[in-house]
């Protein structure tokens, strides 16, 4: 659906083409387009001259010299087409013939667009216009107190941004872009926002929509502002429509969900859902004592989850097993020691294959972890590659275990692990030192010392 920048672009393209044009004839091929009685619509406009175009939100206004105004909404795929010859197409819903033998067609494949005839005195007071909130690209400081009240609802922010009675002109594309720029999760409820966050939404709405207007809007799917004219903002979209791509801010894969039936793209790590952010995360190099900490938290009443065990179970699923086999180009079976070792060696020797496996399995694992977290209050999860998988958004605290090389080798030998393979697999381990959730735990001494550090930081 064309949003505020696209409708502004239509206005800017169309106005110089039709301003000063006098209507000689009107053909309406799809009567439901016009909400005014057709006879009245035609009688009041034939002979009238277009004096200019204006816009409010997603509505386009065509002004005439006899003080009448057409209120036009393009809805899903409506577009105006100015021609020098009479050439209706299958999508054409109406045609305005001018007295100089030029034509303005209104084409609409989906037939959702509307036109309504009113006058200069009343067009801004018509119900469909009067109920609209301030334009999202022109928010003033004086608008903010009312926005604080209107956003103070138990509804997801994505839905509230699409509510034209709160702010008008924002549709699906720009709602995703504004929330991403503001680092607000689309499922965050309006009444959970601070005034400063709403101020940020207002600021980013103005910046993003103004930039989109400069670039002629976004040409997405089948919408084009005019025949042979494409907007350019889609080339600089940061978030919308990028499901499965990598967030440029943090490297997390963009997710897609549906909010109120509308497809919604977001970065779960930049746009954290506070309702998920409640588990304890445990991570660290191979042999650093993660399982011992997990067992300690289990004794303290936590539901404990080992991601290694969870992935092991996922790999048993025939669907996932077949997918991994295709990625690695070998017959993969997690319960077959020989096949498991072959797969492990492939991932060591071909890091790109390892990345492909991780890219596939991490989202599946993430779904399982989110269910554990939403269904339980006290949850501790051991995630060896927590930062590589970008699961930071699930945790309120992240215990990163560290130890010296001597202690690590000793622990691996006690476990009977292959030192060479374990250390090679672990060579790319890293953690985000700047993350405020991170608590570094040194495990170079006794178990009691390790557990004391954990207990101290739990509090």
* 292: pLDDT strictly greater than 60: yes
Element of type H or E holding 345: helix 337-349
Q: How far apart are CA 271 and CA 273, in angstroms?
A: 7
* pLDDT at site 293: 95
Smallest CA-to-CA distance from 39 within 24, 28, 50, 53 is with: 28
Higher pLDDT, 426 or 266: 266
> How large is the greatest C-alpha to C-alpha distance in the chain, in angstroms?
94
Mean confidence (pLDDT) of the chain: 90
Alpha helices in 87-135, H assignment, sequence order: 127-130
CATH number of 279-311+362-458: 3.40.50.300
Domain 4-130 top-level CATH class = alpha beta
Nearest Cα neighbor of 172 from 237, 251, 227 is 237
Using one digit for the tens of pLDDT, what is the confidence trace for 132-181? 999 999 999 999 999 999 999 999 999 999 999 999 999 999 999 999 99
User: What pLDDT sits at residue 228?
Assistant: 46
| CATH number for the domain formed by residue range(s) 141-266 | 1.10.8.50
Token representation of residue 403: 């130890």
* Higher-confidence position of 28 and 411: 28
Contact (Cβ atoms closer than 8 angstroms) between residue 4 and residue 233: no
Q: How confident is the model at residue 330 (pLDDT cuts 50, 70, 90)?
A: very high
Query: Which of helix, strand or coil describes residue 77?
Result: coil
> What is the band of 418 on the pLDDT scale with cuts at 50, 70, 90?
low
Confidence band for 231, pLDDT divided at 50, 70 and 90: low
CA nearest neighbour of 98 among 16, 18, 22: 22
Q: Order of strands, edge to edge, in the sheet holding 50-56? A: 50-56, 59-64, 68-73, 114-119
- Report the pLDDT averaged over residues 31-52: 97
Q: Where are the domains of the chain?
A: 4-130, 141-266, 279-311+362-458
Instruction: Give the rounded percent of residues in the chain with a pLDDT score beyond 70.
Output: 92
**Beta strands 59-64; 50-56: pairing state:** antiparallel
The 10s digit of each residue's pLDDT in 47-81 is 999 999 999 999 999 999 999 999 999 998 899 99
Q: Which residue numbers are catalytic?
A: 2-3, 58, 262
Residue 46 — very low, low, confident or very high, per pLDDT cuts 50/70/90? Answer: very high
Give me the pLDDT at residue 225, please.
46
């Amino acid at each position: 659906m064309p949003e505020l920048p696209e409708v502004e672009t239509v206005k800017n393209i169309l106005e110089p083409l039709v301003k000063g044009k006098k209507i000689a004839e009107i053909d309406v091929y799809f009567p439901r387009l016009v909400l005014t009685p057709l006879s009245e619509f035609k009688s009041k406009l034939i002979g009238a001259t277009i004096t200019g175009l204006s816009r409010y939100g997603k509505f386009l206004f065509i002004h005439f010299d006899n003080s009448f105004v057409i209120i036009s909404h393009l809805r899903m795929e409506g577009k105006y087409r100015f021609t020098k010859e009479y050439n209706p197409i299958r999508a054409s819903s109406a045609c305005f013939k001018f007295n100089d033998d030029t034509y303005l067609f209104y084409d609409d494949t989906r037939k959702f667009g509307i036109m309504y005839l009113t006058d200069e005195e009343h067009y801004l007071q018509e119900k469909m216009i009067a109920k609209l909130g301030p334009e999202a690209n022109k928010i003033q400081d004086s608008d903010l107190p009312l926005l604080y009240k209107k956003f103070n609802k138990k509804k997801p922010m994505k839905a509230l941004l699409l509510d034209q009675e709160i702010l008008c002109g924002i549709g699906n594309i720009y709602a995703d872009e504004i929330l991403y720029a503001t680092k607000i999760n689309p499922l965050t409820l309006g009444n959970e926002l601070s005034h400063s966050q709403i101020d940020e939404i207002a600021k980013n709405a103005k910046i993003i929509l103004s930039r989109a207007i400069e670039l002629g809007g976004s040409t997405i799917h089948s919408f084009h502002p005019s025949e042979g004219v494409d907007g350019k903002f889609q080339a600089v979209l940061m978030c919308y429509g990028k499901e499965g791509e990598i967030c440029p801010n943090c490297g997390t894969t963009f997710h897609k969900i549906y909010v109120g039936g509308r497809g919604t793209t977001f970065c779960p790590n930049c746009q954290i859902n506070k309702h998920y952010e409640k588990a304890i995360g445990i991570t660290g190099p191979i042999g650093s004592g993660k399982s011992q900490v997990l067992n300690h938290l289990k004794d303290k009443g936590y539901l404990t989850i080992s991601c290694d065990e969870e992935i092991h179970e996922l790999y048993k699923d025939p669907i996932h097993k077949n997918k991994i086999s295709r990625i690695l180009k070998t017959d993969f079976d997690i319960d077959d020691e020989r096949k498991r070792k072959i797969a492990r060696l492939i991932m060591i020797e071909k890091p790109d294959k390892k990345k492909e496996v991780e890219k596939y399995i991490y989202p599946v694992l993430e779904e399982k972890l989110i269910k554990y977290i939403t269904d339980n209050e006290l949850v501790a999860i051991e995630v060896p590659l927590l930062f590589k998988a970008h699961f930071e958004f699930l945790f309120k605290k992240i215990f990163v275990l560290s130890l010296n090389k001597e202690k690590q080798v000793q622990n691996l030998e006690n476990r009977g692990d292959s030192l060479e393979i374990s250390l090679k697999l672990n060579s790319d381990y890293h953690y985000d030192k700047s993350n405020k959730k991170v608590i570094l735990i040194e495990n170079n001494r006794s178990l009691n010392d390790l557990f004391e550090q954990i207990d101290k930081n739990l509090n």
